[in-house]
Amino acid sequence: MGEQDRDDTVLKGRHRAMWASGDYAAVAAEVIPALGPVLVEACGVRAGQRVLDVAAGSGNAAIPAALAGADVVASDLTPELLEIGRADAAARGAELEWRTADAEALPFGDAAFDVVLSCVGVMFAPHHREAAGELVRVCRPGGTIGLVSWTPEGFIGQMFAAMKPYAPPPPPGAQPPPLWGDPGHVAGLLGDRVEELAAVRRTVRIDRFGKPAEFRDFFKERYGPTITAYRNLGGDPERAAALDEALDDLARRHDLGGGAMEWEYLLVTARKRG
């Protein structure tokens, strides 16, 4: 194994551990449950189609796709999230396959799926071009690629900017996740391998939190990137207090009243060239 391969293995191990920490499934189920069905509808998923959900987490999009009658594979780097999704799917009467997989090296054949989608998932793969290449590769000619990604200007993009001074430095070559919410960036990643590309900014209403401190504490306990930022502080109470205030201020600035917020995302659909 070369040095680059070893570095990549370490990086992916850290990503797995980050998303296994806390309780991302609670974030998906309690905060943003609407996003998966939005993406499934935008991709026109229907019975009989072969669908791949990349970086599926606990199945926010994969389970609705399966309930629509599609033949679905949910893939994710973090097996702990897949286990939660498997139990949720069984409880909801959804049948689908769960596979541990790296979004930058998917273990599927070329042109294997009619629809390839990802709901605020593939955006967290560190190497954007490699991940985009895999999305296109496993989609059949004429098939649909669909993505939901947080925008740089929206709430989650701003949250990552607020956490950046406190988080570990990104590894060499890794790109910021919210870039996937920039239409120009996504168009550049997919290039001329797709056609009929549509990118629309939308918002999802969040009313899970009554006040800023509730949002901060929820993410501090459950959201892997936020947990990692706090752990990076090494127990420094002053820096922890500063990060607390940065997150509280973010929530205050987005408060529409009573704790409700609108979080912006980019919905992308495209057709793979035949």
pLDDT digits (tens, 9 = 90+) for 110-156: 999 999 999 999 999 999 999 999 999 999 999 999 999 999 999 99
Distance CA 11, CA 28 (A): 24
User: Residues with Cβ < 8 Å from 14, sequence gap 6 or more?
Assistant: none
165 belongs to a structural domain:
yes
230 belongs to a structural domain:
no
| Mean per-residue pLDDT over the chain, rounded | 96
The two three-digit tokens of residue 55, written as one number: 């970086």
pLDDT value at residue 6: 67
pLDDT value at residue 1: 46
48 belongs to a structural domain:
yes
pLDDT value at residue 173: 85
Whether the CB-CB separation of 25 and 81 falls below 8 Å is answered with yes
89 belongs to a structural domain:
yes
Full-prediction pTM beyond 0.85?
yes
9 belongs to a structural domain:
yes
* Number of domains the chain is built from: 1
96-130: buried (b, 16+ CB within 10 Å) or exposed (e) per residue? Answer: bebeebbbbebebeeebbbbbbbbbbbbbbbbbee
Name the residue among 36, 30, 29 with its Cα closest to residue 215.
Answer: 30
Question: Which CATH number goes with the domain that contains 93?
Answer: 3.40.50.150
Distance CA 70, CA 230 (A): 40
238 belongs to a structural domain:
no
pLDDT value at residue 77: 97
pLDDT value at residue 8: 78
pLDDT value at residue 151: 98
Ranges of residues in the chain with a pLDDT under 50 are: 1
115 belongs to a structural domain:
yes
Residue 31, domain extent: 3-205+262-272
133 belongs to a structural domain:
yes
User: Residues with Cβ < 8 Å from 41, sequence gap 6 or more?
Assistant: none
**Strands 139-150 and 261-272: what pairing?**
antiparallel
N-term to C-term CA, the chain: 37
